[in-house]
Structure 1
Amino acid sequence: MDFKLISLLLSLALSTPLITLLFRLVMRWWWGRLPPGSLGLPLIGETLQLIAAYKTENPEPFIDDRVKRHGPVFTTHVFGEPTVFSTDPEVNRLILHNEGKLFEVSYPGSISNLLGRRSLLLMKGGLHKRMHSLTMSFNSSATIRLHFLPHIDRLIRLNLGSWSGRVLLMEEAKKITFELTMKQLMSFDPGEWTESLRKEYVLVLEGFFTIPIPFFSATYRRAIGARTKVAEALTLIVRQRRREQEEKGAEKSDMLAALLYGDDRFSDEEIVDFLVALLVAGYETTSTLMTLAVKFLTETPLALAQLKEEHEDIRVKKDPSEGLEWTDYKSMPFTQCVVNETLRVANIISGVFRRTVADIPIKGGYVIPKGWKVFASFRAVHMNPENFKDARKFDPWRWQNSSGNTYTPFGGGPRLCPGYELARVILSVFLHRLVTRFSWVPAEEDKLVFFPTTRTQKRYPIFVKQLGHDSLEMNGN
C-alpha cells in the first residue's frame, strides 16, 4: 500500500478519538446551560436506539427512560445532530407558537428533497403565511359543508361498493384518501391515471426516511425517480389548465385554480411543488387515521357497539340512496370522541422538528443554543398518564367530559395542520358508511409500528360481510 495512504489512514484513526474528545469538551462547556442528557456514540448518537424503539408497538421506553433520568426536556443526538427533545406541554407550546420568531422549520434532507423547496411544509415567512391561509380556506368547515361533503360521501360509497371477502384496509383507505385529495386539488375523478399516479406516490413516501444520497440508498434512488414522474405528470396538468383558461376562460373552483389565478402568480414548478406536498399530507395521514380507528374499535367492542348505534339512528332516517348532509355530520357526538381518541392513541404525527434561530431560554434555567435542532414530542404528552388517565388505553368516553388542553394531534401555532377539519369529516363519513354497511373481523393478527411512519405491519387485513340494507347505498348513487 502507498506510504502516503497509510499515513493518511493512521492520521484519521488517531484523530477520531481527539475529535470526539474535543466535541465532548465543547458540549460539556454548554452542559451547565443545556438540558441534561446523553449524546450517545460518536456520529450516530442515540439514533439506533430511537429507531429500534419506534419499530415496536411500544416506543415509549426511548423517551420515558430519558425523562426518568434527565427530566421532561432532555438532550440527545439523533439523525446526525444534537437535538433537544421536549415532552413538556409548556415547552412544546413555546416551540409551536414561536415559529418564525425563535424557531424555524427543519426537516431531514430526504424529505426536503422529495417534497420540493416550494412545498408548504418548507415555506417560511410571509409566503408561508399566505399559502397556509389559502390552504386553510379550502379546508374550512364552510367550504367542506357547501362544496366537498357530497364528493367525500360519493367517493367513499363508490370504493366500499367493491369490497367483499378479504380486504387490506390500509390499502383501501389510501386509495380513498388519494382520490379525495385529487378531487379537491385538481377536480379529478378516480381512474387509471389517478391510480398510476398513486403508485408513484407510494415510492416517493418510502424515501422519506432514508439517506438522501442515491448512490447509498436504492430506496431513495427509486423515490427520486418516482418524484420526477409525479412532477412531470402534474406539470402537464398545470399547463393544460393554463391553456384552457386562455382559450376558453374555463375556471374550476379547486386548489389548482386558486394557485393559477391568485395574486401570487406562481410558476409551474412552484405549483407542482405545492401540489406534491398537499397530496402527501392528504394521502398518508388520513388513510392511517381511518385504518387505526377501525383497528382500535375492533379491539374495543363496547365502543364499536355505541358507534354503530349512533350511525344506525342516522341511517334509518334517510333514503338508502340519499347522501349525508352537514346536519348528519354534526349529529355524531360519539364519533367525534372516537376521532379524538384515535388521534391521541395513534399519534400519526408523533411530533415536529424545528431549529432555533437564537439562544432560547426555557423553564428550569436551561438554554437551547442557536442553530440546534429541537423536537416537540406530541406522542410523549398524549401517552403521559399525568395528562391522560390510563393513557395507553383506547377510551373514547374520556372525551365526553374533557377538552384536552394538552392535546395537539394537529400541531399548533402558524403551522397548525390546515386539513384538520377535513380529516375529521372524512373519517366520520367513512365510519358511517362502514358500520352501516358491513360487519367485519380481523383476517389475522397485525401489529402497529411507528417507524418510519405510523402504520400496521400487514396493512390491517379484515374479512368483511355486507349487511342486508338496500344495495343502492353501496354503489354511490
Structure 2
Amino acid sequence: MAVISLYLVFFVVLPAIVLIAHWSSRCRRLRLPPGSLGLPFVGETLQLISAYKTENPEPFIDERVSRFGSLFTTHVFGEPTVFSVDPETNRFIMQNEGKLFECSYPGSISNLLGKHSLLLMKGSLHKRMHSLTMSFANSSIIRDHLLVDIDRLIRLNLDSWSDRVLLMEEAKKITFELTMKQLMSFDPCEWTESLRKEYVLVIEGFFSVPLPIFSPTYRRAIKARTKVAEALSLVVKQRRKESELGEKRKDMLAALVASDDHGSFSDEEIVDFLVALLVAGYETTSTSMTLAVKFLTETPLALAQITEEHEQIRAKKGEGEALEWSDYKSMAFTQCVVNETLRIANIIGGIFRRTMTDINVKGYTIPKGWKVFASFRGVHLDHEYFKDARTFNPWRWQNNSGAACPANVFTPFGGGQRLCPGYELARVELSVFLHHLVTRFSWTPAGEDKLVFFPTTRTQKRYPINVQRRDRVQTM
C-alpha cells in the first residue's frame, strides 16, 4: 500500500503539480483577458448550464461583460476558455480558421458526429467537402430541383394535422424528411421515421459527459449513433453497387460515392459526413420554424402582415398548385421574419475554436491551446447594434434598415471558411413552411411554453398548439 502511495506521489501527483505550476506561471506572464476561472476542475460550467436551461440565458454573458468587457476569460467544459462578444474579434476568429485557430468542440459532440464530419474536418478536405455541399444547396439547385420537393413534403405533412399538434415535433419530422430526400432521395417511410427516432437520442448526448459509465444519456447516444451508422453504411454499399451498374442519381450521396480526380471517399467518411448533415438539417431549421411561429403568435401585427403577404401569393395560384421560385422571391416581409427569428433566438449561439499559437487581440494575449468561444447570440442581443435588441421586431429589417450594421454583426450562419453551406436552403424551407401554415391554418397556443437553450435551443413542451383548418385539404 505504501509503495502504491509513493508511486502516486512521484509519478502522478508531483508531475501534475509541476504542470499546473508551470501553466499558472506562464499565464501570469501573459496579459489574459479579465475574468474568473471559477472552481477547480469544474470552473464555471455549472453556472453556464444553469443559465442555459432557463428561458433567459443572457445573464451568464451579461454579468461577465458588465464586469470584464466584451472579451473575458472563464473555464467551461473542463478547459479555460475566452468568450468573445465583440463582433470584430468574432470576425477575426472566423477569418483566421486554419491559420491561428482550429475547429474544436466538446468531446461528446466530436465522438457522436464522427471524425469525418464537416464540422470537424480541417484543411483541404474541409474545403473540398464544404464546396461539394454548397454545390447541392445553392440558389439555382434549390430553384430548379429542390423547391418542388420542399413544397410537396411540407404540404404532405400539414395534410395530417388536426386539432392539437406538437409543433416542434412536427417541424422536426418535416426537416428530417426534407434532408433525407435531398441527401439520399428517400421519401418518407417507416425506415426514415425509425432512423429519425435514433437521431433524437444522438442529439440528446451532444452536451453530456462523454463517459458512458457516468452518463446514461451519453451511453444511449453512442448506441443510437452506432445504429444510425450501420443503417447508413448499408445505404452507401447499395448505392455503390448501383453506381457500378451505371445507375445515376442526382443527390449528395451520388456525388460522394462517385470517383473523381481526387479519389473517392471511403464508406466511413461518407457515413460521418451524412450523420453531420442530417443533424444540421434536422435540428436547426426545425427549431427556427417553431420559434418563428411562437414569435409571430406573440406579435399579432406581424402575424397579420405575413398572412396578408402569403394570401396574395396564394390568390394567384390554382388549388394545389406548387410554389415557384418567383413566389419565394416575392416574400419580402417573410424574410424580415426569418432574419428576426434567427437574430433573437440564434440556433447556433456561437462557435468553439482552439488557438494554434499565442494570439494577441484587443491588447490581450490568448495562450496557445486555449479554447475561444465566439458568441453570435451575445452580439445579436446587444443594444449597441440593435435597438431594443431583445424584442421581436421584424420591421427593423424592412428596407434593409436592420442590415445597416456591419456584416460581422449579424451572423446567424457563421462566417469565413465555415459559413453554413445550407443557409439559403434553410431560408427557403422556413419560408415555404410559413406560407402553407398561415394560408391553411389558424392556431392558438395550447398552454404556456418556454424557451430553453441547453443542450440545444428548443421549447420545454415542444410548443403544443390547437389548430383549425382554414381551407379544404389540398390534393397532392
Whether TM exceeds 0.5 here: the answer is yes
Counterparts of 2:203 and 2:331, CA distance in 1: 33
Aligned residue for 1:458? 461
1:260 is matched with which residue: 257, 261, 266? 257
Question: What residue ranges of structure 1 are gaps of 5+ in the alignment?
Answer: none
Q: How does 1:204-223 map to 2 (within 5 A)?
A: 204-223=202-221
Give the one of 150, 153, 158 matched to 1:152: 150
**Counterpart of 1:428?**
431
CA contact (8 A) 1:20 1:42 kept: no
Partner-residue secondary structure (3-state), 1:464: strand
Match of 1:356 in 2: 355
Gaps of 5+ in 2: none
SS class of match (1:269): helix
1:140–1:421: 8 Å Cα contact kept in structure 2?
yes
Bigger CA drift: 304-313 or 56-65?
Answer: 56-65
Letter matched to residue 150 of structure 1:
V
| Cα drift, residue 25 of structure 1 | 4.0
Shift of 1:367: 1.1
Is the Cα–Cα contact under 8 Å of residues 39 and 46 in structure 1 kept in the other structure?
yes
Select which of 370, 373, 377 maps to 1:372.
Answer: 370
Note the C-alpha offset of 1:470. 3.9
Secondary structure of residue in 1 paired with 2:82: strand
Amino acid in structure 2 at the alignment position of 1:116: G
- Which residue is equivalent to 1:441? 444
TM-score after normalising by structure 2: 0.95
- With 404-413 and 87-96 compared, the bigger mean Cα shift is at 404-413
Give the match's secondary structure for 1:104.
strand
Match of 2:418 among 401, 415, 420: 415
- For 2:90 and 2:451, locate their aligned partners in 1 and report how far apart those are by CA, in whole Å: 26
Trace 1:15-164 onto structure 2 (pairs within 5 A). 22=21, 25-26=24-25, 29-30=28-29, 32-164=30-162
* TM-aligned CA deviation for residue 238 of structure 1: 0.7
Q: Is the 8 A contact 2:243 2:258 kept in 1?
A: no
Conservation of the 8 A alpha-carbon contact between 1:106 and 1:354: yes
- Judged with a 3 Å threshold, the aligned counterparts in structure 2 of structure 1 residues 204 and 29 are, in CA distance, closer, same or farther, namely same
- The offset of 1:381, in angstroms, is 0.1
Q: Distance in 2 between matches of 1:17 and 1:261?
A: 50
Letter in 2 for 1:250: E
The separation in 2 between residues aligned to 1:12 and 1:252, in whole angstroms, is 59
Partner residue in 2 for 1:336? 335
Asked if structure 2 preserves the Cα contact closer than 8 Å seen for 1:39 and 1:76, the reply is yes
Partner of 1:182: 180
8 Å CA contact 1:105–1:353 kept in 2: the answer is: yes
- In the TM superposition, residue 18 of structure 1 has moved relative to its aligned partner by 6.4
Q: Specify which of 220, 228, 231 is matched with residue 229 of structure 2.
A: 231
Change (3 A) 1:241 1:92: same
* Residues 21 and 371 (structure 1), Cα distance of their counterparts in 2 relative to 1, 3 Å cut: closer
SS in 1 for 2:438: helix
Secondary structure of the residue aligned to 2:454 is coil
Residues 355 and 372 in structure 1, CA contact (< 8 A), matched pair in contact too: yes
User: SS where residue 402 of structure 1 aligns?
Assistant: helix
> Which residue matches 2:473?
471
Q: Name the counterpart of 2:163.
A: 165
Deviations 1:3-54 (A, max 9, x none): 6678889999998996798378426514x51111111111011111111111
Q: CA deviation at 1:262?
A: 4.2
Q: Deviations over 1:58-101 (max 9, x none)?
A: 11111111111111101111100000100000000000111011
SS at match of 2:402: coil
Deviations, residues 154-191 of structure 1 (Å, cap 9, x unaligned): 00000000000110000000000000000000000000
- Work out the number of aligned pairs and report it: 469
1:415 to 1:13, Cα distance in 2 relative to 1, 3 A: closer
SS in structure 2 at match of 1:190: coil
Aligned residue identity for 1:182: M
Q: Which amino acid aligns with 1:416?
A: L
**Are the counterparts in 2 of residues 118 and 270 from structure 1 also a CA contact under 8 Å?**
yes
- 8 Å Cα contact 1:167/1:463 also seen in 2: yes
Q: Does 1:321 align with 2:324?
A: no
- 2:12 & 2:232 partners in 1: Cα distance? 49
Three-state SS of the structure 2 residue aligned to 1:203 is helix
Counterpart of 2:43, as a letter, is: G
State the match for 1:251 in structure 2. Answer: 248
How many angstroms apart in 1 are the aligned matches of 2:10 and 2:290? 54
Cα separation, 2, equivalents of 1:201 and 1:21: 40
Deviation at 1:368, TM superposition (A): 1.0
What is the CA-CA distance between 1:204 and the residue it aligns to? 0.7
Contact 1:320 1:470 in 2 (8 A): no
Structure 1 pair 345/12, CA: closer, same or farther in 2 (3 Å)? farther
Contact 1:76–1:85 (8 Å) recurs in 2: yes
Q: Please tell me the residue identity of whatever aligns with 1:34.
A: L
String of CA shifts for 1:400-419, please: whole Å, max 9, x gaps. Answer: 12214210010000000001
In 1: Cα distance, 2:27 partner to 2:418 partner: 34
The AA in structure 2 aligned to 1:258 is A
- Contact preservation (8 Å) 1:181, 1:279: yes
Residue deviations 1:418-446, cap 9 Å, x none?
01000000000000000000000000100
Equivalent runs, 1:279-298 vs 2, <5 Å: 279-298=278-297
Question: What is the deviation of 1:275?
Answer: 0.5
Aligned counterparts of 1:253 and 1:27: Cα–Cα separation in 2: 55
Aligned mates of 2:13, 2:273 — CA distance in 1: 48
Distance 1:48 1:11 in 2: 32
Following the alignment from structure 1 to structure 2, what is the Cα–Cα distance between the partners of residues 343 and 291? Answer: 12
Q: For 1:471, what is the secondary structure of its paired residue?
A: coil
1:120 partner amino acid: L
| 1:388 partner amino acid | F
